[in-house]
Amino acid sequence: MAYVITPLCERAGLCVDVCPTDSIHFVDGDSDWPLYYINPETCIDCGACAAECPNEAIFMGGDEPAEYADYAAINENFFTSGPGTEFA
């Protein structure tokens, strides 16, 4: 399990700074990947990102609202099928 960023994300970016494993990534200006994303392979479930998010956009996987149930896969796809690891 890993934490998941949902469409409530407004790219404030505070989560990136507090993540101890550099698991949160994004692509500027790419509408195909409009959010921040958590790499489930490196997330250690510490919860620091969720505590810092001003929009309460980040949830423990499985605890996200039902309408965002697809976002665990969307976060993972960013790393497996998306633009890779060449970002901030």
Report the Cα–Cα distance between both ends of the chain, in Å, rounded. Answer: 23
DSSP-derived secondary structure for 20-47: TT--EE--TT-TTS-S-EE-TTT-----
Which of residues 6 and 23 has its CB atom nearest to ligand SF4 in the complex?
23
In terms of CB distance, is 6 or 31 closer to ligand SF4?
Answer: 6
Tokens at residue 27, please? 């692509």
Provide, rounded to whole angstroms, the least separation between the CB of residue 62 and ligand SF4: 13
Nearer to ligand SF4, 16 or 83 (CB): 16
Phi–psi pair at 51, nearest 5 degrees? -65, -30
Minimum CB separation from ligand SF4 for residue 67, in Å?
21
Contact in structure between 5 and 58 (CB atoms under 8 Å): yes
Closest contact distance (angstroms) between CB of 80 and ligand SF4 is 16
CB nearer to ligand SF4: give 15 or 31.
Answer: 15
Note the residues at the interface with ligand SF4 (CB under 6 A). Answer: 3, 18-21, 23-24, 38, 43-49
